[in-house]
Amino acid sequence: MSDDKTFESCMAGLETFKASKFLMVVFGGAGDLCQKKLLPTLFLLFKKGFIEDFTILGFGLPEMSTDEYRKQAKIWLQENIKEQFDEKIYLKFQEHLLFETADLKKAENYSNLCKRITEITKDDPAYNLMYYLAVPPFLFPTIVHNLSDKELCRRRKGAKIIVEKPFGHDRKSAHALNLKLLEAFDENQIYRIDHYLGKETVQNVFFFRFGNVLFEPLWNRNYIDNIQITVAEDLGIENRADFYENATVIRDFVQNHILQLIALIAMEPPANFSQESIRNERQKVFNSIQAFDEKKIDDLVVMGQYEAGEVNDKKVAGYLDEKGVAKDSKVPTYIAAKFFIDNWRWAGVPFYIRTGKRLKKRCTEIAIQFKYPPLRLLGHKCKDLDANTIVFSIYPTQKVSLNFNVKFPGMDNIPYPVDMVFDYKSVFKVDTPLAYERVLIDAMKSDLSLFARQDGIETMWSIVDPIIKAWEKKKTLCKYKAGCRGPKEADDFIKKDKRAWRIF
């Protein structure tokens, strides 16, 4: 099949997708998550024609009517999707929006919810019923208990519950939350969302590895020297001190997003493309990650906190001066760590990760660095030969690049590093969908491939719990100025291994 025909075939398959009719009950339908992520995603799916027959029922506080909710939703969309907002399309979209004022802690409000669900669905079993928990985690058990009490969970055919992170604050709390969910729902009804797995470049790690015979034979300890995962943010905590003082950078990013990225890079080929086969292989990676010894944690982890500095030519406050942060807070806003996977494929290969707030710029990438050639066959001028590297750039650009060495033109034998680049926008001429678009569509399709499973959540917590415990005991942090690439100690940390961080 020609390239043009392949492209046309793929686009046709995408454009013909239509979600079956559904009702999404959004607990916290007027909250921050719904304003910035959920409603914009649903609007874009409607604009693209992926959803047509549906109802979004916001359920929670503050008190407002459906008309008021629709007016607010318009403002939220204009603020968050800007030029993608379309007034004419919104007039149609708003007809699908309803709001029910409710204190989520009061059981009597769930009787009203039960009535509203019956009014909307008319008990039609063809309705795809989804509960989206866009609320703080402490409300999860209360909501689940009340839904179960009204027989709106396991006994409701086709019902699903979508749960946002953080899923607990350690392994013990995550296990308790899982038990609470499983009292009311079956595991295949529970969608623990991690939007990072919905990002196009992240998904392409899977296709890059298993869709090309060229790379998979090299994807092991025999050829790969190290792997670096960078998730750098130039923003601070953005008025979320209450959340961040409890979450820290470890719970906010490492326990979920970064460990999922490690699993995607390191997993074995699944037996097939089924959701359980894929999730089983990710779980095997989690089970194989070397446990952190608290006594040796300082050799494997560096944590820091940002001070006042300058980001994007603008002076910014240090973490301790952020609104709502305790003046003596020892909460880390940066972490660099080294993970090992104890299996045949990856034994001895370090997985370096770093993530933090108020860094030089926003950058998310996965870099696979291969080993150097065993002999310097090209002479003394080639002593600084660059190692081959495959880079999956997730932000700010979405691309995959392969770095290799060529001869520089001229009479001398001088090596020169070059990149072969696949860029999404230049190849496909379309904007890549938001990560939430993909995961919501998968939830509508009952595809759990990109969602975390009970055992995965608990194992990921068991991996990071020793880091959290070590920090809670010592609470020693390296300081770094806002606008830099992280603390000096993080550079020293990787230099000890005779390696260096990639520059972002």
Asked if residue 357 lies in contact with residue 325, where contact means CB atoms within 8 angstroms, the answer is no
Q: Name the region of 498 (left: φ>0; alpha: ψ -120 to 50; beta: rest).
A: left
Q: Are strands 399-407 and 415-423 parallel, antiparallel or unpaired?
A: antiparallel
Judge whether 145 counts as a catalytic residue. no
Q: Which helix (H) or strand (E) holds 145?
A: helix 140-149
Tokens of 334: 């940066």
Cβ-based neighbours of 409, under 8 Å, separated by 6 or more: none
Asked if residue 445 lies in contact with residue 130, where contact means CB atoms within 8 angstroms, the answer is no
> What are residue 130's DSSP bridge partners?
24, 160
> Measuring CA to CA, which residue among 41, 51, 49, 40 is closest to residue 74?
40
DSSP state of 452: B
- Within 10 angstroms of residue 8's Cβ, the number of other Cβ atoms is 12
CA dihedral sign, ordered 291, 294, 300, 301: positive
Asked if residue 87 lies in contact with residue 478, where contact means CB atoms within 8 angstroms, the answer is no
Cα separation of 402 and 384, whole Å? 18
The b-or-e profile of 472-491 (16+ CB within 10 A means b, else e) is eeeeebbebebbbbbbebbe
Give the SS3 label for residue 393.
Answer: strand
The single residue of 169, 175, 257, 380 carrying the catalytic annotation is: 257
Cis previous bond, 166, omega within 30? yes
Cα separation of 362 and 183, whole Å? 41
- Catalytic machinery residues: 257
